[in-house]
Structure 1
Amino acid sequence: MQLLAKRDIVVGIDIGSTKVVALVGEIKSEEAVSVIGFGECTSSGLRKGNIVDIDNVAKAIEEAVAKAEQMSGTEIEYAYVGITGSNIASLNNKGVVAVASGDNEISERDVDRVIQASKVISIPPDRKIIHVLPREFIVDGYNGIMDPVGMAGSRLEVEAHIVTGASTTIQNLLKTVERSGIKVAQLVLSSLASSQAVLLPAEKELGAVLVDIGGGTTEIAIYDQGSLCFTSVLPMGGDYITSDIAVGLRTPIANAEQIKKEAGCVLSELVSEADTIEVCGVSGRDTRVVSKKELAKIIEPRAQEILQIVKREIQRSGYKGLLPGGVVLTGGTALLDGMVEMTGEVLELPVRAGVPDQIGGVSDIVKNTAYSTGVGLLLYGSNNESCQRSDEKDSSFNHMFDKVKHWFRDFF
């Protein structure tokens, strides 16, 4: 199997409660990436975003990666891996430093120092920082600055959004991925990745909320003035609906999941009594006919409950009245008929379905709300790789410039 140059490809692995998705992307430019490999495998080793069976998840990762390798013709060594779960927490914090240079010109080193200063927060010893995401920089009291490098000032501040996770959860995730033979390039908050794939720059600037309803979790990410300002992970998702269907129709969980995907609707008013489905019993042998309206009446209250809790989280964030960009709904559960309409009714905001379409290659495979996180991991990784390349070029240029400067100094 051919191994492409390390910087030519990027790999994302989305480890969900019901499936593992591996995507291979080829970096075309700083802003373009094409999907060249895709692999998916069902998994049952997660509960509410937390790993409960390392071997099960590791095997699912191996199988998904093998499929992606076969399709792309490349060997996967490193991957950007999504992380989620009810253990995720976030807060906003400020860092302040004095500009170090004598001429008061702000350098990359000053930016690194102020970001490090924003990390000085009191968090329990059993938690680790996953992301420090600058929201804005403030130079001598002037705010709203996104890149202060090269500006003149004596005091540099940063407003940062800090995401933390439980140390044990992070360790278990790293151990599981490495057991599958893959090295972790970086852990990425799943809702941050999904935002990369489905939120438009204009929505982030206006103020918008991403709601990603997966199998075991529902993730919320709120953007204001172009930056992430609030994140939350709820320990509930489409699996709750599946469980209700299994109990209500007295059918196995696997069959309930299939029924949900094929015939599920969250608004009973949209379904006719005449529409029916066949449901097998717990034994798997006897079947009976059930109306789709009866199915919708089972799904509807649970979907409303999830969205009501999402609404409370948005209110808790303090940004409820600052979201003219509305709601972007994504994740596998967003595919249910009527979900967009119900979300609009409950959250009292304009809603659209978020489908990842900012990517090339065999993108038809992943143009689905269920793959938003996987595509977002590719985009995040591609941007990160491009930034590293740019930093290396700058470092190389500066080194060459220093050599020329010393040569002139020695010559004259």
Structure 2
Amino acid sequence: MSEPTKDLIVALDIGTSKVVAMIAEVLPNNSFNVIGIGHHPSRGMKKGMVVNIEETIQTIQYAMEEAELRAGFSVRSVCTGIAGSHIHSFNSSGMVAVKDTEITQADIDRVLETARAVSIPADQQILHVLSQQFKVNDQDDIRNPIGMTGMRLEVKVHIITGSVSAAQNIVKCIRRCGLEVNELVLQPLASSMAVLTQDERDIGVALVDIGGGTTDIAIFIDGAIRHTAVIPIAGDQVTNDIAMALRTPTVEAEELKLRYGVSKQMMVPPDSVIEIPGVGDRVARRVKRQSLAAVIEPRLEELFVLVQRNLSEAGFEHLIASGVVLTGGTSLLPGMTELAEEVFMKPVRIAQPAYDGNLSDIVCNPRYATVVGLLMEARKHKGEPTAGMGRAHVPARSQTKVDQQAGVHATSSRVQSNVNDGSQQSVWAKMKDWFVKTF
């Protein structure tokens, strides 16, 4: 306990293919420095949702232990993400009368409450209420109305909802690891914070985060979010196609995809040959690398067509003037930019997190876009929530701790328990604090 307590933030990205834990120290200039990273292959998740509680808990523990070991600190709470086909979004609006003619934060809070007073299914909960623009009297397109004079305040918002049970399962897994959830953030929203520039947001951009189990979409126009969606097709489906078409185990198919995979068949030299491991005791075979690309290209093309259809149905296909930004682990396949530009008929770039601190050579990778965005979100909410940024409702017991910061203690080890839930951990923590203060 000789090291001083640091102001830390913690992000936990529970994905279909991997779980990443990242611990960062908040610096005096409000930037942050990553001091610990934990990474472990994911088990117990499918298409962004928990399908096996115990395996998910174990995977989270492995990733957290590695991050804590590298950081030299134990953590109590995290900011985590949520995704899956259960995510829905829509636009809403609200209006209130201004009390004292000059608009204050209280007025903004009231108008946001009126905007979120909408009817949603009983099995859904509101994750975010994101302001798009404000209107004071007859003046519209206002981004921050605080201090302005007016009698009437209106707001247009983007509301994101998700399954109550899906959110509760994620929170339950994290609590079973002895941690609390401070923030529950939509994953494409987190990724957008890490990789998009302000110019792209203003001109109009579509972020497409292609992960292992889901492809997340977020559209920004005039600096505000306009549309979000989650498509349950991503890198894992490409791996499954390879395993089926080339008759090889799934693990070997993933390795083939990462090592030799190319998004466009025409980019592969015709004389390039690779070895395909057999299933069971069958001998390995040698096939042309173009055969692997011939499996990958149709699936990715289908995915981009689905994304384009989603943009078209939402009415934003012709409004994203700056084009499409790809991120996520699957975007690293060679030829992704060329294939995407053929489908979208717009400029496309591969984006990595905008971070220049410690361990930047590791962190600045598209596969870490979501977890870096979660760190940014955690840093933003160290204090009071910013105007217009709705915070996710953390189900049940953690509601009283939704504003608790990511507490840390210098320690040489962490007591692990698979059976103790959050309440038992809390009791032991209080007993420990009492013992230290008393003796």
Note the alpha carbon deviations across 1:38-95, whole angstroms, 9 max, x for none: 0001112111111100111111111101111111111111111010000000011001
Distance between the aligned counterparts of 1:285 and 1:198, measured in 2? Answer: 44
- Greater shift, 173-182 or 300-309, is seen at 173-182
Distance between the aligned counterparts of 2:2 and 2:79, measured in 1? Answer: 20
Distance between the aligned counterparts of 1:174 and 1:109, measured in 2? Answer: 30
Distance between the aligned counterparts of 2:383 and 2:271, measured in 1? Answer: 55
Determine which of 297, 302, 312 is the counterpart of 1:300.
Answer: 297
Q: Does 1:291 align with 2:285?
A: no
What amino acid is aligned across from residue 13 of structure 1 in structure 2?
A: L
Distance between the aligned counterparts of 1:50 and 1:282, measured in 2? Answer: 29
Q: Does 1:61 align with 2:60?
A: yes
Deviation at 1:329, TM superposition (A): 0.2
What amino acid is aligned across from residue 97 of structure 1 in structure 2?
A: V
Query: What are the within-5 Å matches in structure 2 for residues 320-359 of structure 1?
Result: 320-359=317-356
The aligned residue for residue 80 of structure 1 is 79
Q: Cα 1:52–1:363, aligned 2, differ >3 Å: closer, same or farther?
A: same
The aligned residue for residue 253 of structure 1 is 250
Distance between the aligned counterparts of 2:321 and 2:29, measured in 1? Answer: 30
The aligned residue for residue 146 of structure 1 is 143
Determine which of 124, 127, 137 is the counterpart of 1:127.
Answer: 124
Q: Cα 1:370–1:389, aligned 2, differ >3 Å: closer, same or farther?
A: closer
The aligned residue for residue 108 of structure 2 is 111
Distance between the aligned counterparts of 1:279 and 1:261, measured in 2? Answer: 14
Distance between the aligned counterparts of 1:317 and 1:178, measured in 2? Answer: 37
Q: Residue 12 of structure 1 contacts residue 22 of structure 1 at CA under 8 Å; is this kept in 2?
A: yes
What amino acid is aligned across from residue 368 of structure 1 in structure 2?
A: N
What amino acid is aligned across from residue 10 of structure 1 in structure 2?
A: I
Q: Residue 194 of structure 1 contacts residue 373 of structure 1 at CA under 8 Å; is this kept in 2?
A: yes
Note the alpha carbon deviations across 1:157-202, whole angstroms, 9 max, x for none: 1111100001111111111111122210110000000001100011
Q: Residue 30 of structure 1 contacts residue 383 of structure 1 at CA under 8 Å; is this kept in 2?
A: no
Determine which of 154, 157, 165 is the counterpart of 1:157.
Answer: 154
Distance between the aligned counterparts of 2:295 and 2:260, measured in 1? Answer: 12
The aligned residue for residue 236 of structure 1 is 233
Question: What is the DSSP-based 3-state SS (H/G/I as helix, E as strand, rest coil) of the residue aligned with 1:340?
Answer: helix
Q: Residue 331 of structure 1 contacts residue 370 of structure 1 at CA under 8 Å; is this kept in 2?
A: yes
What amino acid is aligned across from residue 185 of structure 1 in structure 2?
A: N
Distance between the aligned counterparts of 2:116 and 2:225, measured in 1? Answer: 16
Normalised by the length of structure 1, the TM-score is 0.91
* Number of positions where the alignment pairs a residue of Structure 1 with one of Structure 2: 387
Q: Residue 35 of structure 1 contacts residue 359 of structure 1 at CA under 8 Å; is this kept in 2?
A: no
Where structure 1 has 5 or more consecutive residues not aligned to the other structure, the ranges are 391-412
What amino acid is aligned across from residue 357 of structure 2 in structure 1?
A: G
The aligned residue for residue 374 of structure 1 is 371
Q: Residue 357 of structure 1 contacts residue 363 of structure 1 at CA under 8 Å; is this kept in 2?
A: no
Q: Residue 266 of structure 1 contacts residue 339 of structure 1 at CA under 8 Å; is this kept in 2?
A: yes
- Alpha-carbon RMSD: 1.6
Query: What are the within-5 Å matches in structure 2 for residues 18-97 of structure 1?
Result: 18-29=17-28, 31-97=30-96
Q: Residue 32 of structure 1 contacts residue 359 of structure 1 at CA under 8 Å; is this kept in 2?
A: no
Where structure 2 has 5 or more consecutive residues not aligned to the other structure, the ranges are 388-439
Deviation at 1:363, TM superposition (A): 1.6
Q: Cα 1:4–1:260, aligned 2, differ >3 Å: closer, same or farther?
A: farther
Determine which of 176, 186, 190 is the counterpart of 2:187.
Answer: 190
Q: Cα 1:161–1:3, aligned 2, differ >3 Å: closer, same or farther?
A: farther
Q: Residue 3 of structure 1 contacts residue 74 of structure 1 at CA under 8 Å; is this kept in 2?
A: no
Distance between the aligned counterparts of 1:92 and 1:3, measured in 2? Answer: 48
The aligned residue for residue 417 of structure 2 is none
Q: Cα 1:308–1:379, aligned 2, differ >3 Å: closer, same or farther?
A: same
Q: Does 1:210 align with 2:217?
A: no
Distance between the aligned counterparts of 2:2 and 2:168, measured in 1? Answer: 31
- Greater shift, 283-292 or 299-308, is seen at 283-292
What amino acid is aligned across from residue 276 of structure 1 in structure 2?
A: V
Deviation at 1:364, TM superposition (A): 1.2
Q: Residue 30 of structure 1 contacts residue 386 of structure 1 at CA under 8 Å; is this kept in 2?
A: no
Deviation at 1:388, TM superposition (A): 6.0
Deviation at 1:252, TM superposition (A): 0.5
Q: Cα 1:284–1:59, aligned 2, differ >3 Å: closer, same or farther?
A: farther
Distance between the aligned counterparts of 1:325 and 1:314, measured in 2? Answer: 14
Whose relative contact order is higher, 1 or 2, with alpha carbons under 8 Å and at least 6 apart? 2
Q: Residue 36 of structure 1 contacts residue 71 of structure 1 at CA under 8 Å; is this kept in 2?
A: yes
Deviation at 1:358, TM superposition (A): 2.6
Distance between the aligned counterparts of 1:207 and 1:389, measured in 2? Answer: 23
Q: Residue 242 of structure 2 contacts residue 295 of structure 2 at CA under 8 Å; is this kept in 1?
A: yes
Q: Cα 1:2–1:51, aligned 2, differ >3 Å: closer, same or farther?
A: farther
Q: Residue 89 of structure 2 contacts residue 160 of structure 2 at CA under 8 Å; is this kept in 1?
A: yes
Note the alpha carbon deviations across 1:228-276, whole angstroms, 9 max, x for none: 1100000110111000000111110011011101110010000012212
Q: Residue 355 of structure 2 contacts residue 364 of structure 2 at CA under 8 Å; is this kept in 1?
A: no
Q: Residue 60 of structure 2 contacts residue 174 of structure 2 at CA under 8 Å; is this kept in 1?
A: yes
Identity of aligned residues (%): 43
Q: Residue 4 of structure 1 contacts residue 74 of structure 1 at CA under 8 Å; is this kept in 2?
A: no
Normalised by the length of structure 2, the TM-score is 0.86
The aligned residue for residue 362 of structure 2 is 365
